[in-house]
Amino acid sequence: MYAIVNIAGQQVKVEEGKYYFVPRLSAEKDAEVVFDKVLLVDNENNVKVGVPTIEGAKVSAKVLEHLKDEKVLVFKKKRVISYQKLNGHRQYLSKILVTKIEN
């Protein structure tokens, strides 16, 4: 059984008992969160598709920790005028454990 859920503007395919890294959530560590914007649920080839969401469907998860992603380097260069700039960026993430999918 899996579901496709809208979490902080991103569509994530989730399954029960698995860990996922999602954009930083406002919930505290070890808090339970419920996502109600479920777009699709597949329960053993019984597929429900929402228009745009499925009424009454929920995905429960537990926030395990807040962390930062690996550094992404952004390098800009213009050859002729001797210009170069190096910037780094680390995205803020939350690690969640999906505990239950209700449809």
Domain ranges of the chain: 2-102
CA separation for the pair 69, 92 (Å, rounded): 6
Two structure tokens written together for 20: 């996922």
Two structure tokens written together for 53: 């969401």
How does pLDDT run across 5-31, given as a tens digit for each residue? 999 999 999 999 999 999 999 999 999
What lies within 8 Å, CB to CB, of 89 at 6+ separation is 71, 72, 74
Q: Which of 4, 25, 27 is nearest to 14 (CA)?
A: 4
In the chain, pLDDT over 70 holds for what percent of residues? Answer: 100
pLDDT at 16: 93
Q: Which of 42, 33, 32 is nearest to 7 (CA)?
A: 33
pLDDT at 44: 87
